[in-house]
Chains A and B, each alone.
Chain A
């Protein structure tokens, strides 16, 4: 299966070795000479620029391709774009050309996650899927569109190892399951949450079993993304707010049978995630659990609100501070499994990002000195109160 990958797999392997060796070096377990020896033994020829370059290259590539497409649109193809099928065919052609460009850059330019290959891939897939849907637009059926998109996305995720496309494959599959089940009849509506829990649960189980497999190593990161998505989907399928509001929006059902069960899932599942995340030292599970606690609180607040949001905010803020404080104090005394010490990694980037974050959330608190709004309607930004004094 790895021969299907567009990139040089030997380099992909070497990249992983270098990455791990770099970590070992940072932790001081191998010395500089060894690191250099490893890097010499595992050469990587990819062009993978810094993230900033990557973003700018992607944007430039997008403008460039759109301009080419626009130029064709206003000059040569005005006749063809008269019908939907015509536009569809043009888009498919555009997709094929973009894909050819992508292959060219990967093969000759050795681009790997350079921004150019990302942008070209997304454009090729988007144009391809839109083109297909337009050609088959006479069906006028969402399920058909999802079915058309699936193989295209699957191809993109497998051949180009793209994580975003992998996520779209998962969502597309979820859409197919959903729409396909609805065709089966009325009774599906009641068991839909359970079917989705089964679907995401099965996906998660399979991913966890196969993620470490040697033969699937190139897709490991993609599979981790999917694992995260399936964990979130599993929770959301059982979350009372989601079940209830979607039942009402889609099927006009206002009373959810077995509400208690859904309340239980809503409250307990995040804690279960956190527990197992800590138990098995699984950061993904832990972090998703922590985020889902917010979803759980929001759900209960939505249905059992006492009308005092300010009290809830204050109390939960106080609770979080106390929780963090005592956890940190507890860990600082020394624990055989967990620690508050940072992982040995370069955190300069995080500190700078933190500074930007602080300015964004608190910086607005400094009032402007020469504007009429001064103090008058004084809004004290995100750091202060939400209202005006």
Chain B
């Protein structure tokens, strides 16, 4: 805090002299927080430990034996969940504050080791046989239950990922584009369904006041899956133009949502996907496969810029305020 600034504020009677003195004193004696530094170190440590141990086991599997490895993983998994259980806050439909800094990580570790355990059993002993659906269904149920019971957004993300896997779509942010074959119509319709489901869940749970702070996680997954499925439908399927009204509807919906929630993030997402779709349609017109395409870009970009600058009115923009 700037001393000259404090003096200025005090002179202008915006704060009392006593307050200024208090602030100076508090600044002087303020503790130096190492929260994020230590948390990052912890996170990095867990990652390295996990990777290193996995590697060690992989190299020495013959000496250790599968039974011991499985027992160790199962033990770690149980211990992690037990730790989370012991340190849990009483269940509530609102956000709870985790009491121990290791609580979040223990829970995460438990979920991840559960996945590893399951994969190991399947690979080594073919536990689930051909019932692949069951193999993703079990972690999905576990993760959703754990996310709600222990109030953990990261685990919720894992649960949504598992749900999508169960339906056959890879949804990690990077894999969303690279691993999915959007040309199959089954996948596109599944994606639409999943997107609607996730967005619906976000709206419904917010409305019911159940874990309101989960809405961003649901909606963030939902909006991208929904738009990408819709755009793939538009570009790939035979009667792709049937998706135009759907795209328009989703865009409108999310712009309205962004307006209600004052969320710039969802406004941007909607505008960008809509622009992508519109540009694709324009490219299909033969007239535009010439110098005219420059004119299209010039005019459309001007349009988008104008719309965005106007959006401060749409979102009741106020300097200095911001939301997601």
Residues in chain A within 8 A of chain B (CB atoms): 15-24, 27, 29-30, 34, 37-39, 41, 44-53, 55-57, 60-61, 63-64, 66-68, 70-71, 74-75, 109, 116, 214, 278, 281, 286-287, 290, 309-325, 327-328, 331, 335, 337-343, 348-349, 351-352, 354-356, 358-371, 374-375, 378, 380, 382-389
Contact = CB atoms under 8 A, between A and B. Distances in A.
Contacts of A355: 153-154, 156-157, 217
B34 to A, nearest CB: 6
B31 interface: yes
Contact of A365 (B32, B116, B156, B305): B116
B22 A310 contact: no
Contacts of B301: 60-61, 63-64, 67
B34 A331 contact: yes
If over half of B's interface residues share one DSSP class (helix, strand or loop), that class is named, otherwise mixed; here it is helix
B264 interface: yes
A44 B45 contact: no
Contacts of B207: none
Nearest to A387: B58
Contacts of B9: 17, 21, 38
Given A34-B15, A64-B301, A287-B37, A375 B122 contact: yes
Interface stretch (B49-57, B191-199, B225-233, B237-245): B49-57
A66 B167 CA distance: 42
Contacts of B122: 375
Interface stretch (B86-94, B132-140, B246-254, B280-288): B132-140
Contacts of B162: 366
Contacts of A47: 309, 312, 319
Nearest to B315: A50
Interface in B171-197: 171-175, 179
Nearest to A39: B320
Nearest to B290: A74
B47 to A, nearest CB: 7
Interface string B279-299: 000000000000100110110
Given A22-B320, A71-B291, A358-B157, A386 B305 contact: no
A214 B4 contact: yes
Interface string B109-143: 00010011001101110000000110110010000
A44 B217 contact: no
Contacts of B264: 49-53
Given A41-B14, A340-B38, A367-B136, A313 B48 contact: yes
B193 to A, nearest CB: 15
B314 to A, nearest CB: 11
7 contacts: A17-B5, A17-B9, A44-B319, A311-B56, A355-B153, A387-B54, A389-B124
A369 B49 contact: no
Contacts of B44: 317, 320
A365 B102 CA distance: 21
Contacts of A349: 324
A341 B49 contact: no
Contact of A339 (B4, B31, B119, B133): B31
A66 B5 CA distance: 44
Given A316-B45, A358-B158, 10 more contacts: A44-B320, A49-B308, A49-B312, A67-B297, A286-B37, A313-B52, A340-B35, A340-B38, A368-B168, A370-B132
Contact of A341 (B35, B115, B213, B294): B35
Contacts of B132: 369-370, 374
Nearest to B154: A358
Given A63-B301, A317-B45, A341-B33, A360 B55 contact: no
Contacts of B220: 356
Contacts of B322: 50-51
B168 A385 contact: no
A17 B2 CA distance: 9
